[in-house]
Amino acid sequence: MLDVLNAIFDRFGSKLDEFDLVPVLSEADAEFHPFVVAVTPENSVKLGIPFQIVPALYTEASRGLIEAKQQSASQATSAARSSSSSSSWPEHAADLNSEIVRKLQATSRAVLMINAENYTAWNARKFLLTAKAVALQDELLFLALVFRKHPKSGEAFAHRRFVLQRLLINDPPAIKQTRLAEEFAICTTVANSYASNYFSWSHRTWLLEQVASDKDMVNTELETIKAWTAQHPQDHSGCHYLQQVLLARLRTRWPVLSELFAGEGSLALKNAKQVAALLSNANCNDLAVAATAALTEWREALNESAALLELHADNEALFHHRRFLVYHASLLAVATGIQASTELLQQETTLAQTQFAPRSFGSTPSAAQRSRLLSDYLSWLSSLHQHTADWKL
């Protein structure tokens, strides 16, 4: 079976962009029996692995993988005449003959298509990559294929980062930019196929750090993610990432604000001393100017969130996002002068009471949910209000 699978990969290579488990075997006389191969009108190739053969295929592949690993270790040891432990990977791939390399590549590929959490198989591939037996670029394509079936595989994302780090070091700026844009697109695809996918979002946060200094890319990313959160209003992981992008944008534009937002934008409230220290430390004038400008921009995000909340006031994720926005707005307001902060919170309370209140329609579950969320939010606001009053110092 493994040989047939290899033949399919040799024949179609990068055109193969999707695989799945299917309930039926192909005809016994078909070219790729028992696999099902379909070519779409767009000339991309889809591979179907029948349910029945999965256990056998996995056993064959993982046995082959362990065998190949042992062969490679013993061969390298005899070539180098050293007494290194036979369970680790050889240091030099040049010691290996091409047959073993091929076997490692084919068996680890088959194993990972069925079980993307197999550590040994990813390690085999890391070894092949460092030995330059597999091109980094091709490995990205293989990973994209694996994500189609296993969108929530932490190991696969770790491996992708391993590959990217090696690629990005050598990339000229222009190529680096397209590569990162492609990466963001992959994250979107994966996030769409599995809601609240932690690995995909933390990969994306890592990517965001790589582009943080590039204003255009951060702006594009902000637009993309805004559209995404509108499409998935109940997925808090999207909102959380949106918050990271908003903060990254402020930091890039007004570096002087970085310190005010230290602590990863969490809602852990700063105490009076910390705020006072910040205000006296920084060049107060610069900070006030930057904060005023930033606050004006922040209001745009506040308005967007208010419009959404007015319509979907039974959505908890939207209220959490609003807390984040209001907390940071009040921090910015403090930096411009404490009076501004008090005013901002008073306005917010009035707004919440009038606009986010449930419309009067009997006692439906969603109306009950709305008034519960609203009263939670209002009590959070009043505690924030008391808390910021201490910031006067």
Partner 1 sequence: MKLYAIILYQRSGANLKLVATATNVADFGYFERSSVREFMHFFSKTIGERTAPGTRNAVSEQAYVFFCHAREDGYTGIVIADSEYDKRVAFSVITKSLEQFTAKYTKETVDRATARDLPFPEIETMLTKYQNPAEADALLRVQRDLDETKIVLHKTIESVIGRGEKIDNLVERSNDLSASSKVFFGQAKKANSQCCIVM
Contact residues toward partner 1 (CB under 8 A) are: 18, 20-24, 36, 38, 40, 46, 48, 51, 54, 58, 114-116, 148-150, 192-194, 230-235, 308, 311-312, 359, 361-364, 366-367
Distance CA 226, CA 14 (A): 32
Residue 393 in contact with residue 276, Cβ under 8 Å? yes
CA–CA gap between residue 168 and residue 101 (Å, rounded): 25
Do the bridges between strand 36-39 and strand 45-50 make them parallel or antiparallel, or are there none, so unpaired?
antiparallel
CB of 376: closest distance to partner 1 in angstroms?
A: 21
- List alpha helices for the chain, DSSP H: 2-12, 54-80, 98-114, 119-130, 136-149, 154-170, 173-193, 198-211, 215-231, 236-253, 272-281, 284-311, 316-336, 338-355, 365-389
Give the shortest CB-337-to-partner 1 separation in angstroms: 36
Task: Decide whether 161 or 226 has the Cβ nearer to partner 1.
Answer: 226
Minimum CB separation of residue 123 from partner 1 in Å reads 19
Q: Whose Cβ is closer to partner 1: residue 55's or residue 255's?
A: 55
Shortest separation between residue 150's beta carbon and partner 1, angstroms: 6
SS3 49: strand
- Return the number of the residue (116 or 248) whose C-beta is nearest partner 1: 116
Peptide bond into 41 cis (omega under 30): no
- Residues forming a β-bridge with 18: 46
Q: Which is nearer to partner 1, 54 or 167 (CB)?
A: 54
Least Å from the CB of residue 320 to partner 1:
16
CA distance 249 to 100: 49
Q: Which is nearer to partner 1, 312 or 320 (CB)?
A: 312
Least distance in angstroms from the C-beta of 269 to partner 1: 31
Distance CA 245, CA 228 (A): 13
Nearer to partner 1, 119 or 361 (CB): 361
